[in-house]
Amino acid sequence: MNSNLSETLFAKSRKLIPGGVNSPVRAFGSVGGTPRFIQRALGSSLWDVDGNHYIDLVGSWGPMILGHSHPDVIAAIHEASVSGTSFGAPTERELMLAERVLQRYPACQRIRFVNSGTEATMSALRLARGATGRDFLIKFAGNYHGHADSLLVAAGSGAMTTGVPSSAGVPADTAKTTLVARYNDLDSVRRLFEARPYKIAAVILEPVVGNMGVVLPNKDFLAGLRQLTHDYGALLIIDEVMTGFRLAPGGAIERFNIDADLVCWGKIIGGGLPVGAYGGKAEIMDHISPLGKVYQAGTLSGNPLAMAAGIATLDAIKNTSDLYDVLEARGQMLEHGLKQAADKAAVPVKINRVGSMLTVFFTDQEVQDFDSAAKTNVEQFGRWFHGLLKRGVYWPASAFEAVFVSYAHSEADIETVIDAAKAAFVKI
Ligand SMILES: *Cc1c(COP(=O)(O)O)cnc(C)c1O
């Protein structure tokens, strides 16, 4: 497989853009080699600039649940664009997308659109602090909520991949207000509440973690968090940026029957264009300006192209009656095929999956929190990753990321991936 043009472009890119990329994991830092520059994508397929074809399991890190270049989404973006790309004034499309999201999240009455998942969680956190008049926040080690200062503490995949647990440039005084608990460990949360009763504004979490690899919540964990936040008057912020519309139409909140105070979205609701959103009960959301004292704004927020892509995506999801069944079936097929292939090659793996999200951890131990996720053998993963890549499978370039299966992945695609994985496991 020839990657000459990707190599040329990457060399040039490194002189223009730090590390040659606009988001760290794209740089292949932890697996080595040259990131592929992508030319185009359709359905489950990607083509790079050297003309190589891949089955894509990255899916732009989550948004592409329908596969790439879905005709309805492309048509909607085109139609919106010919009427102008941004007005800085309200448009009807914002209401149309708001209705479509809120319909699936009956506990939320108001929603505010922003431009990324990072903005969504950052704004939801400010709102939680403003509404409660409290400063402290509890987050979980290995959960990623974007790169706002308060949330860039013990922050999961990107940071794990580069070996930096948090980030330089986050003031110590800011980080001090972020308390870190252990995922799936309710006692670790209880202790933080007991140490600072009534000073904690919110608990934020990924209801299924994708950003230290896929980790599922234990049976009583989510209900226990609801009880603790309730007892101490803190808000429960569910970060559905990755899981919203992926695990069910109403995301993890529907799938696991969670009662949230604030919800954050991104990825799928923008249909591949830059969108985020946060929402909740009216009495909380009405603290946001211009009604309330919590300031939050955006020049491009509610952008007409992004709204159009989101509307078309959510409509296609709604009109595809077998969507979640197909995602489950393909996810299951992939999981079983990979497990068999690993067993046959005598490579110990632990595969965590929920629906169309899956991670292969190179360890023989259960993975249920940051510490157990960190036991994955990163060197083995790197060799396996390159075994897949050269066989035309585009897997996330990090041992701590989720794979995303889309509706466009056929059984034949999954078989191709499993065959490539078999060969790659043997050469590990
Ligand atoms: C991707 C992600 C974010 C950040 O979204 P961006 O659009 O990349 O800023 C936040 N939370 C979770 C759970 C995510 O997966």
Show me where the domains of the chain are located. Answer: 4-66+322-427, 71-319
Spatial contact of 84 and 95, defined as CB atoms under 8 Å apart: no
* Closest residue by CA, ligand 1 atom 5: 117
Neighbours of 85 (CB within 10 A): 11
What does the alpha-carbon distance between residue 236 and residue 225 come to, in Å, rounded to a whole number? Answer: 8
Phi, psi angles (nearest 5°) of residue 224: -65, -40
Residues 107 and 281: beta-carbon distance below 8 Å: yes
Report CA(66)–ligand 1 centroid distance (Å): 19
State yes or no: is 394 an active-site residue: no
Asked whether this chain's domains 4-66+322-427 and 71-319 adopt the same fold, the reply is: no
DSSP annotation of 293 reads: S
Q: Which helix (H) or strand (E) holds 79?
A: helix 71-81
Q: Which of 271, 252, 270 is nearest to 260 (CA)?
A: 252
Query: Quick check: helix, strand or coil at residue 316?
Result: helix
The residue whose CA is least distant from atom 8 of ligand 1 is: 117
Ligand 1 site-directed mutation target among 60, 122, 144, most atoms within 8 Å of CB? 144
Question: Which of 60, 240, 242, 269 is the best mutation target for the ligand 1 pocket, counting ligand atoms within 8 Å of the beta carbon and taking the most?
Answer: 242
Exactly one of 48, 56, 239, 413 is catalytic; name it. 239
Q: Using the mean position of ligand 1's atoms as its centre, give its distance from the Cα of residue 385 in Å.
A: 23
Q: Whole-angstrom Cα distance, residue 87 to residue 211?
A: 35
Closest residue by Cα to residue 204 from 299, 139, 133, 286: 139
Overall fold of domain 71-319:
Aspartate Aminotransferase; domain 2 (3.40.640)
The pLDDT of residue 164 is 46
> Is 267 assigned a catalytic role?
yes
With beta carbons less than 8 A apart as the criterion, state whether 322 and 393 touch.
no
**Nearest-atom index, ligand 1, CA of 117:** 5
Residue reference for tokens 């929603």: 111
Ligand 1 pocket, Cβ-based, cut-off 6 angstroms: 116-118, 121, 144-146, 206, 210-211, 239, 241-242, 266, 276
pLDDT for 159: 58
Instruction: Give mean pLDDT in consecutive 10-residue pieces for the chain, a chain of 428 residues.
Output: 96 98 95 97 98 98 98 98 98 98 98 98 98 97 94 73 66 90 97 96 98 96 98 98 98 97 98 98 98 98 98 98 98 98 98 98 97 96 98 97 98 98 95
pTM for the predicted model, two decimal places: 0.97
Homologous superfamily, domain 4-66+322-427: Aspartate Aminotransferase, domain 1 (3.90.1150.10)
Known active-site residue 239: yes
Residue owning the nearest CA to atom 15 of ligand 1 = 242
The CB density around residue 82, as the number of other CB atoms within 10 Å, is: 7
The predicted pLDDT at position 156 comes to 67
Q: How far is the CA of 145 from the centre of ligand 1 (A)?
A: 5
**What pLDDT is stored for residue 163 in this prediction?**
47
Closest CA to 222 of 244, 192, 174, 255: 255
Closest C-alpha to ligand 1, atom 10:
145
